[in-house]
Amino acid sequence: MRSMQYDPEILYVQKLYFFLYLATISILIALIIIVYVDFRSGLYSLAVGFGLSYIGMVMKKNFNPPGKRLSAQRMAHTISQDSSPLSIARFASQLYYYFHEPTQAISILEKFLSSQDPLLCMTLGDILLKEGKPLRALYILRDNPHALVDPLLLATQGRVLFQIDRIQEAVKMFERSIHLAKQNKFPKSSNNWITQKILTLSYLANIHHSLADCYFILNDFDLAKKHYRSGNYRVFDLSLWRHCPSVQLDSTKNHKNIK
């Protein structure tokens, strides 16, 4: 089964749960050693186990999605039990990522767009952006009544604006998204508390990194470094950290382009 490329926010959740899985095994092994050998050896085993678990998480780059048949069964069951905008958004996401059916995913989301649900609208905008339709995505996102008050919608608008080189506008969207995210539950979902917390940190980290990219393009390197660091502080996995590119190298490239 081939792996799939997840968005960084989802990838972080997957990687952290992978670490917790490995760490749990390490704890069990350490307990066995403590019981049957000695306490000191058990602690040493636990430290080594945690270290290896962290290395395993950092090195893990992709995760295999569930089988298509299993996914289809779950999707059918979920939709039959719950037709809320959240379920529709998940259903469309699975169609897009697992089954590679962008046309069907977009069609379903557009059908329920009148619900004005922020998550559903964001999902549609995100898919349209990935499908190379940023202007259409921007129109749909801005047409939502929650466009300027929902952190996810603001962040997605920022990503669209960044892609079409409207950097100053993207900065405003990302900054407002971060400001509102600190006040509200973000992102809103039906996940358990742990997953919700991880998603919150992951989304905020990605928004900070995106904002840093904007400031770097605008040659405000101090703010770029600040937001790269702010994003990194929210991510436990070093492989997902971002750093400000070489200013000297970038300046040289810009100078050549001007010439």
Contact between 153 and 147 under an 8 Å Cβ cutoff? The reply is yes
Q: Which residues pair with 4 in a beta bridge?
A: 63
Give tens-digit pLDDT for 46-79: 999 999 999 999 999 887 766 666 666 667 666 6
Where do we find the tokens 């000695």?
A: 38
Q: In this predicted structure, what is the pLDDT of residue 1?
A: 41
pLDDT tens figures, 31-41? 999 999 999 99
- Say if residue 67 is exposed, middle or buried (CB neighbours under 10 Å; 0-12, 13-18, 19+): exposed
**What is the value of pTM for the model shown?**
0.85
C-beta of residue 236 within 8 angstroms of C-beta of residue 16? yes
- Over residues 128-154, the pLDDT tens digits come to 999 999 999 999 999 999 999 999 999
Cβ neighbours of residue 169 closer than 8 Å, sequence gap 6 or more = 161
